[in-house]
Amino acid sequence: MKIILDAMGGDNAPKEMLLGAAAAVKELGVEIIAVGDEEKIAACAAENGIEMTGITVKHASQTIEMCDDPTSAVRHKKDSSMVVALRLLAAGEGDALVSAGSTGALLTGATLIAKRLPGVKRAAIGTVIPGRLQPYLLLDSGANVECPAEMLDCFATMGSVYMEKVMGRREPKVALVNNGAEESKGTPVYVEAHQLMKQNPAIRFAGNVEPREVPDGAVDVVVCDGFTGNVILKLTEGLARFFTGELKAMFKKNAGTMLAALLMKNGVREFKAKLDADEHGGAPLLGISRVVIKAHGSSNAKAVKNAVRQAKLCCENGMVEAIRENIRR
Amino acid sequence: MKIILDAMGGDNAPKEMLLGAAAAVKELGVEIIAVGDEEKIAACAAENGIEMTGITVKHASQTIEMCDDPTSAVRHKKDSSMVVALRLLAAGEGDALVSAGSTGALLTGATLIAKRLPGVKRAAIGTVIPGRLQPYLLLDSGANVECPAEMLDCFATMGSVYMEKVMGRREPKVALVNNGAEESKGTPVYVEAHQLMKQNPAIRFAGNVEPREVPDGAVDVVVCDGFTGNVILKLTEGLARFFTGELKAMFKKNAGTMLAALLMKNGVREFKAKLDADEHGGAPLLGISRVVIKAHGSSNAKAVKNAVRQAKLCCENGMVEAIRENIRR
């Protein structure tokens, strides 16, 4: 299997991208097509002693920066690593694409170059978020700030397929974020989306999920518009940072609490692992006709490798075809 | 000062309401008008040895239940403790009202009976939420699921007045929740609200606040629609429950971690106090022509007493008049 990697995207490119690629070749048995500035990639590999076996480099002279406007960057930076990578993907030269570059540009580029599946009005970003019982998929987690009801219903179908095919959940429970359990709750769009999801034969609808229950992870797929999804994703990150910061301060208080920190070491390590988003690989762009995985902008080698694993799982389990089938129903 | 108390509202009524009222009389030097079933109140006071000095009971034969439809409950249960309390407030027989009953009914009732201030299209619920640096006011935290831009701008003014007058913040910073710092971010409503808030002379506008930064408490007033506000408020509660649960489980692991729990006791107590919403009293209904405080449905005596303190502070500091003045600007 060939995975195309945007070697220049992300805060730690190209070094962590290449380290992740090398680890993926070794551990996952995939081939990598690394797209980016040939000279820079060669220099970085040499400097860091990165084993390039299994990694083919395709040259691209430009890079899309985080500050670039997504649409004009995709249109005008035609020789950027991301655009070249997307063209390779659309031409079938690789099975999937992984990028840690600008989310907006990747979404726009994937839509313009790799195209959406028939029946999908907008692609969504799905993010796997740690929960109390188990991780859950949140979508849309930020791509589309405004979503009509049919779009939310489509997200529900795509999220369900992802959790079943890629994450191995059996008959995943799908719920709509809302400010109450009753089907009359929420804005008119949410009231309508509830009705559509209730009648959607492609999902197992669990009704509304209130924000207080979302972190439980009792439902597999949590559906909302991208504005709300961004709030859920980023507030979860912010509160995790707040709470772990308070815990650290508690440990540092005096000799007794420092001893406590030693005694709690294993527990804290397990808790951190539970909260570690890098473990779950990247976020899939759902609704695109090819597999596209967005890795976190600050991805390190481990996160890149896990994003490649995620891409591989999507391909092996026929995620795109399953979404195509289920949207058609 | 006379505070009207809905003695039958909330999960722990009337006992905790009366205990809170008695504590408020003693500690805050206020008089309480307790509205509810005379017989039940008398029996509860006798049974629990509650000192009724300073508490006048006004009879009301009905109670609005949490399952009642807010609007029809207010219209049809005319002799309910909440409606009678609101009529007393509108008639000027007390300075403020505290209720732990149904939020929806209180909001509807306050709007219909105590009336909104001129220029206020909809009242908002403000909730003070613990933050890393300091608590912040979130509004609207659930009253209005859909809000046009002018309404968000009005919430900004009311929230700023509350934090300045009642919580003693000097020149409070007011920010708009959004999925990015740039003023072009968000839905069209949020883009417009940003412009209105930027030109609002009654507030010190700090721009957009991203959800990840909200828990920092670096801004005093966090403005959003009630759907988003419900997500922020309830997700914060849910994640606090998740994290404290994980911490408890960590402590219970073995003899070493149980010792750690003992060593950390003070730190954990301080952390819990920081997160304790009861400390901040109830949530003000902002935009009503009288002071109305919504106490949490599960309020205990301490929370009721603190809600009465909050009501007293609102009256003493001329909150309603200040909102009236600032909305007029």
Q: If we measure between CA atoms, which residue out of B294, B306, B281, B304 comes closest to residue B129?
A: B281
Facing residue for B211 by CB, picked from A230, A247, A274: A230
Max Cα distance, chain B (Å): 63
Q: If we measure between CA atoms, which residue out of A152, A165, A137 comes closest to residue A198?
A: A152
Which of A102, A134, A179 would best serve as a mutation to test chain B binding (most B beta carbons within 10 A)?
A179
Contact present, B62 and B80 (Cβ < 8 Å) = yes
> How far is A1 from chain B, CA to nearest CA, in Å?
36
Q: Where are the domains of chain A?
A: 1-120+287-318, 124-281
CA angle B159, B160, B164 (to 5 degrees): 115
ipTM of the complex: 0.92
CA pair distance A314, A308, nearest whole angstrom: 10
Q: Check residue B79 and report its DSSP letter.
A: T
Contact residues, chain B, for A297 at CB < 8 Å: none
Contact present, B153 and B133 (Cβ < 8 Å) = no
With H, G, I as helix, E, B as strand and everything else as coil, classify residue B176: strand
Superfamily of domain A124-281 in the CATH hierarchy: Isopropylmalate Dehydrogenase (3.40.718.10)
Q: Do A237 and B212 touch (CB under 8 A)?
A: yes
Residues B190-202 pLDDT 10s: 999 999 999 999 9
CA pair distance A71, B228, nearest whole angstrom: 28
SS (H, E, C) chain A: CEEEEECCCCCCCCHHHHHHHHHHHHHHCCEEEEEECHHHHHHHHHHCCCCCCCEEEEECCECCCCCCCHHHHHHHCCCEHHHHHHHHHHCCCCCEEEECCCHHHHHHHHHHHHCECCCCCCCEECEEECCCCCCEEEECCCCCCCCCHHHHHHHHHHHHHHHHHCCCCCCCEEEEECCCCCCCCCCHHHHHHHHHHHCCCCCEEEEEECCCCHHHCCCCEEECCHHHHHHHHHHHHHHHHHHHHHHHHHHCCCHHHHHHHHHCHHHHHHHHHHHCHHHHCCEEEECECCEEEECCCCCCHHHHHHHHHHHHHHHHCCHHHHHHHHHHC
Q: If we measure between CA atoms, which residue out of A139, A165, A157, A266 comes closest to residue A204?
A: A157
Closest chain A residue to B142, measured at CA: A179
Helix axes A265-275, A255-263, angle to 10 degrees: 60
Find the Cα–Cα–Cα–Cα dihedral B153, A234, A68, B225, rounded to 10°.
Answer: -20
Cα separation of the two ends of chain A? 30
- For B21, the token pair is 């009222």
Q: If we measure between CA atoms, which residue out of A180, A179, A177, A183 comes closest to residue A219?
A: A177
Unique residue bearing structure tokens 């993010």: A127
Max Cα distance, chain A (Å): 63
Q: Is A19 exposed, middle or buried (0-12, 13-18, 19+ CB in 10 A)?
A: buried
Q: Do A231 and B234 touch (CB under 8 A)?
A: no
Contact residues, chain B, for A267 at CB < 8 Å: 249-250, 253, 257
Q: If we measure between CA atoms, which residue out of A299, A295, A298, A297 comes closest to residue A285?
A: A295
> How far is B180 from chain A, CA to nearest CA, in Å?
10
Phi, psi of B243 (to 5 degrees): -70, -45
Q: If we measure between CA atoms, which residue out of A71, A137, A61, A125 comes closest to residue A99?
A: A125
Facing residue for B231 by CB, picked from A188, A232, A243: A232
Contact present, A20 and A305 (Cβ < 8 Å) = yes
Can you name the CATH fold of A1-120+287-318?
Isopropylmalate Dehydrogenase (3.40.718)
Give the pLDDT of residue B155: 98
Give the pLDDT of residue A276: 73
Facing residue for A146 by CB, picked from B187, B236, B261: B187
Helix axes A255-263, A226-251, angle to 10 degrees: 120
Contact residues, chain B, for A247 at CB < 8 Å: 247
CA pair distance A63, A68, nearest whole angstrom: 10
Contact residues, chain A, for B246 at CB < 8 Å: 132, 271, 274
Q: Print burial letters for A265-294: b (CB count within 10 Å at least 16), e (below 16).
A: eebbeebeeebebbebbbbbbbbbbbbbbb
Contact present, B59 and B42 (Cβ < 8 Å) = no
Contact present, B223 and B150 (Cβ < 8 Å) = no
CA pair distance B121, B139, nearest whole angstrom: 15
Contact residues, chain A, for B179 at CB < 8 Å: 142, 145, 226-227, 230-231, 234
Give the pLDDT of residue B276: 72
Residues 6+ apart with CB under 8 A from A7: A13, A14, A17, A18, A21, A34, A35, A36, A41, A57, A81
Can you name the CATH fold of B1-120+287-329?
Isopropylmalate Dehydrogenase (3.40.718)
Give the pLDDT of residue B120: 95
Q: How many CB atoms lie within 10 A of CB B246?
A: 18
Unique residue bearing structure tokens 């201030």: B117
β pairing state of A2-6 and A96-99: parallel
> How far is B246 from chain A, CA to nearest CA, in Å?
8
Q: Do B179 and A264 touch (CB under 8 A)?
A: no
Closest chain A residue to B262, measured at CA: A260
Q: Check residue B133 and report its DSSP letter.
A: S
CA angle B322, B208, A145 (to 5 degrees): 120
Q: How many CB atoms lie within 10 A of CB A149?
A: 18
CA pair distance B146, A37, nearest whole angstrom: 48
Q: Do domains A1-120+287-318 and A124-281 have the same CATH topology?
A: yes
Distance of CA B170 to the CA centre of its chain: 21
Q: Do A236 and B239 touch (CB under 8 A)?
A: yes
* Residue-by-residue pLDDT tens, chain B, 329 positions: 999 999 999 999 999 999 999 999 999 999 999 999 999 999 999 999 999 999 999 999 999 988 888 899 999 999 999 999 999 999 999 999 999 999 999 999 999 999 999 999 999 999 999 999 999 999 999 889 999 999 999 999 999 999 999 999 999 999 999 999 999 999 999 999 999 999 999 999 999 999 999 999 999 999 999 999 999 999 999 999 999 898 888 888 888 888 888 888 888 888 888 777 666 778 999 999 999 999 999 899 999 999 999 999 999 999 999 999 999 76
Unique residue bearing structure tokens 């509205």: B35
Give the pLDDT of residue A278: 65
Which of A194, A212, A214, A274 would best serve as a mutation to test chain B binding (most B beta carbons within 10 A)?
A212
Q: Do B239 and A240 touch (CB under 8 A)?
A: yes
* Residue-by-residue pLDDT tens, chain A, 329 positions: 999 999 999 999 999 999 999 999 999 999 999 999 999 999 999 999 999 999 999 999 999 988 888 899 999 999 999 999 999 999 999 999 999 999 999 999 999 999 999 999 999 999 999 999 999 999 999 889 999 999 999 999 999 999 999 999 999 999 999 999 999 999 999 999 999 999 999 999 999 999 999 999 999 999 999 999 999 999 999 999 999 898 888 888 888 888 888 888 888 888 888 777 666 778 999 999 999 999 999 899 999 999 999 999 999 999 999 999 999 76
